[in-house]
Amino acid sequence: MANTTAETYTIEGLEGNTAYDIYIQGVCSESTSGWSAIINVRTLHPIVGFWDAYDVSALLGGLGITGITADFKENNTYVVVSTADGAKTTLEGTYSVNDEPNADGIYTITLNQSSPSSLTSEGIFQVFPTNPDSMWYEVAQTNPAIVGVTPPTADAGFGSTSGGAFGTSNIQKYNRQ
């Protein structure tokens, strides 16, 4: 007689964009043809990790920035380090991301920078699962506001900062380290 009572299991800490075969000892095995449990799998958000820019945006490059690393942590804090003329600038704060991407796989993100100054930036990103994963990232400062600057939107896609006025010059590209 089949087991009709469903048990619930939660598995945390698995890596996003990864396929797993899950067998729960005493519940099912590799040869089990039916499923008798509900599995809730919580994966890290795709942005969580350490990223190194392989293509600094033309806009930031025009400001002398030659390198950027970004560390998005699971606790929704971030540390971004940019390099210009050999000097490093560290930006720190918290971030929030919408739970689901749009149909094209683009997420929205809000960054609340606390150091070295307080400001808010909003924008979009998309993670491409490869080896290593890559990410496109486009944000704009929204508070304090910069006259004529509006953040990109997931619906309008990449290159939509200020309604497309910047073209692709505000898109940063990263590889996961």
Q: Would you say residue 107 lies in a domain?
A: yes
Q: Rounded mean pLDDT of the chain?
A: 86
Q: Is the pLDDT confidence value at 99 over 70? A: yes
Condensed to tens digits (0 to 9), the pLDDT of residues 55-80 reads 999 999 999 999 999 999 999 999 99
Segment 137-155 mean pLDDT: 97
d(CA 111, CA 32): 46
**Do residue 54 and residue 39 come from a single domain?**
no
Domain count, the chain: 2
**Do residue 38 and residue 53 come from a single domain?**
no
24/128: higher pLDDT: 128
Q: What is the CA radius of gyration of the chain?
A: 20
d(CA 110, CA 123): 7
Sequence-ordered list of residues with C-beta below 8 angstroms from that of 109, at least 6 positions apart, any chain? 47, 95, 96, 97, 98, 122, 123, 124, 125, 139
d(CA 89, CA 67): 11
- Residue 14 belongs to what domain range? 7-43
pTM above 0.85, yes or no: no
**Do residue 78 and residue 17 come from a single domain?**
no
d(CA 177, CA 173): 13
